[in-house]
Structure 1
Amino acid sequence: MTENQKPVFYRRKMFWINTAAALVLILTAFMIGSYMSTTSLHGEKLKYEEIQAEVEKVEKRLTQKQSEGKDLDKDLERLHEKKEETNEQLKALDKERSEAEALVAEKDTLQADIKKLEESKKSKDSELDKVLKEIDTKKEELATVTGKIIELKEEPKTLSAGFFTVGKDIPAARYKVTPNGNGNFFVNGGAKVNVMIGSGSFYESEYVFEAVEGDEIELTTSAHFTPVQ
């Protein structure tokens, strides 16, 4: 017998039975859902409020992390600016170093040039000394031929009016005597030299003599004694 062939009340009964079963199933599912609304977190069963509290905590931590992230972004931006500033400083230092290296190279070149000039000067000085010696030699030869007096490079010695001894007051040498005024000039009491020195027609403006050790010199005026050849 099929379902359509069964009595009406039977079919109504089955309807309500099915409806009741469905309600039971729905209620059971709701209760299971309500029961399952509690879950396990960190090994403990938490209710919805506890889960919500945990969610809020997580959201707070997330907000904190986001704030920290913003701070990190600001720090990174500052570090980037510092990096750019440091790069500029490094460029400036590289430029200064290049300029310093150029100056050092220029200094080395100048020092090399100075060294060459000094060597050249030494060579020229040596040549000049040779030339001067040759000139002195020629002057001596000329003086020998013409009888001219050549003054030596020694400083002249000035004697005042008075008595002096050669070898004690003045070294033995050949001298040119140049007076500072008018007066008499005697050597060994006039036996070796007896002249009037000074300016004027009766005086000698200069006088050359050979001073030998032990000679006695008498002057009535001061005079310069210049060593000569």
Structure 2
Amino acid sequence: MAKFKKLLSNKKILIGLVAFIILILGYAVGSGSAKANLDEGKVSYEALLSKIEQLESTIKNVESTIEDKENVLDEVEGKVQEANDKLDEEESKLNSKKDEVDEIFSLIDEKEVFSSDIEALQKELDNKSTEVDEISSLIEVKQSELEKIENSIVKKKAEPIDLLSGEYIVGSDVPAGRYQATNVGRGSNFVVYSSGGSLKVNTILGDDWGDGDYVFWAEDGDFIETAAQVKLIPIED
């Protein structure tokens, strides 16, 4: 296309060449015709002038055609340039979309990693929940056992026995049986000896000074010694 445009840009040379060829052909034809007409006496000067006018008209038509082709060529080149610009624009948009797609795929990969981490944490949470359930079940069992132990000490409906600070003999001062010894004041030493003189109980009653209440068996002949006021609560055997 560039060569064709270059050729068209030299239209004066082309026109001259076409005119030269036409003139030669015309001359040849004219010469032959002139010779024949001279021989026959039919060719005139006016016919030759008419032929030249026709050639000039043809040259003008060729020039006009060349100009039209140049205009069409310029228009085509403009459209080609416009198409190239649009192609560049679309290519830029395509590259932008490609970057967006790459970013989306990157986010998908990150989502898969996060999903895997979440699944691992969920499994760990399930395991911890199972452990909590097991511990809760164990607590319930221990609580039930504690309740049984607490319920095993059933207090009798008999009235408690108040003992002042002093010494007492089981069977005469205190009825034989099973008792829960509890402090009345801040607490005190509480000692029980068997009838044979062996030590059966040696504790400190009260939460402030000792270990709280104490449950023991009182048998006939046992010796009870308390350093402060205490209360003996009868409980079932």
User: Same fold judged by TM-score > 0.5?
Assistant: no
Q: TM-score, normalised by structure 1?
A: 0.44
Q: TM-score, normalised by structure 2?
A: 0.43
In proportion to residue count, which structure has more helix?
A: 2
